[in-house]
Amino acid sequence: MTNTHRSGPDRRTILRGAALASGAAVLGGAFAAGGAASASAGVAEPPLHTRADWGARSPAGRIQILSTPPSYIVVHHTATANSTDYSLGHAYALSRAIQNYHMDSNGWLDTGQQLTISRGGHIMEGRDRSFAAIRGGSHAVGAHVANNNSTCVGIENEGLYMDVGPTKALTDALVATLAWLCGAYRLDPHRAILGHRDFNATACPGDVLYAQLPGLRDAVAEAMLAPVLELAARRAPAGDGPTYPAVPEDEPDRVFHHGPARGPDDFTR
Ligand SMILES: [Zn+2]
């Protein structure tokens, strides 16, 4: 009796220790991709173009960095023409045009979104400090999804996707970018990847691209398949979730305009 009683706690202690060791191994695995690359949890960083590459202006004020990583990745379209110029030069010009519009017409500190992808599939840094923040697991607060900028990182995809879908080059770059972000922020692609219209009253990212999101989530999950990525180590979304408002029928048709980007809950511009 005494022996049985004594063996109980011993056995439970052993099991508890094993469970802790197992849990630690899972967490360790998520970060164990090696050195600085560990922040992206084993998902390769796609080819990226910096702000220096496209000739960005300095921001009008210091960009806020939150140590809390974003919970959602928001897919946008730029509401610009579906250009057939797939060159790097065109991509850089697009980034400059967006920045000029956001700073000079909207009065923001800088480009609103953290990342921009051209129809040629070129991936560019948007708001200042975005790449460093992603690599460090933190969040450069942008202006792209009203009232949710503290918890959302945004990708603007060149074009207007109400009636047609993006190019294959853009789609492939978008999947690679989403996988990189989900890895860096330890997000579950099936829960974290949303469209602008899920949060604000807007048609963005267009009916066609929005309808492609389920397939994109699957493609991202596939791209992330690696032994170091344990589902148990992924973060559940935190903070305000989407509100799924109705798409307005009378949305203004203006180049660069793709719905509400700032609201009273946003503390920066
Ligand atoms: Zn949008």
Instruction: State the Cα–Cα distance between residues 80 and 257, nearest whole angstrom.
Output: 9
Instruction: State the Cα–Cα distance between residues 113 and 258, nearest whole angstrom.
Output: 12
What is the mean predicted confidence (pLDDT) over 260-268? Answer: 93
Give the Å distance between the CA of 210 and the centre of ligand 1.
11
The pLDDT confidence band at residue 268, using thresholds 50, 70 and 90, is confident
Kind and range of the H or E run holding 123:
strand 123-125
Give the Å distance between the CA of 160 and the centre of ligand 1.
11
Residue-wise over 68-85: b if at least 16 C-beta within 10 A, else e?
Answer: ebbbbbbbbbbbbeebee
Give the Å distance between the CA of 187 and the centre of ligand 1.
21
DSSP 8-state secondary structure symbol assigned to residue 256:
T
Apex 150 CA angle, 46 and 114, nearest 5: 30
On the question of pLDDT at 183 being above 70, the answer is yes
Where are the chain's structural domains?
31-233
On the question of pLDDT at 75 being above 50, the answer is yes
Using an 8 Å Cβ cutoff, are 64 and 143 in contact?
no
Question: Is residue 127 classed as helix, strand or coil in its secondary structure?
Answer: coil
Give the Å distance between the CA of 167 and the centre of ligand 1.
18
Map 220-251 to HEC letters: HHHHCCCCCCCHHHCECCCCCCCCCCCCCCCC
Which amino acid, residue 96?
A: R
Give the Å distance between the CA of 243 and the centre of ligand 1.
15
Q: Strand pairing partners for 65?
A: 140
Q: What is the CATH number of domain 31-233?
A: 3.40.80.10
Alpha carbon of residue 156 to chain centroid: 10
Give the Å distance between the CA of 195 and the centre of ligand 1.
8
Question: Is residue 194 classed as helix, strand or coil in its secondary structure?
Answer: strand
Give the Å distance between the CA of 7 and the centre of ligand 1.
61
Which amino acid, residue 214?
A: P
What's the pLDDT at 41? Answer: 57
Apex 150 CA angle, 50 and 31, nearest 5: 65
The pLDDT confidence band at residue 237, using thresholds 50, 70 and 90, is confident
What's the pLDDT at 228? Answer: 53
205 preceded by a cis bond (ω within 30 of 0): yes
Give the Å distance between the CA of 115 and the centre of ligand 1.
12
Kindly list the protein residues that place their beta carbon closer than 5 angstroms to ligand 1, a single-atom ion: 76, 196, 204, 258-259
What is the mean predicted confidence (pLDDT) over 176-188? Answer: 96
On the question of pLDDT at 257 being above 60, the answer is yes
What's the pLDDT at 73? Answer: 98
Give the Å distance between the CA of 204 and the centre of ligand 1.
5
114 vs 30, higher pLDDT:
114
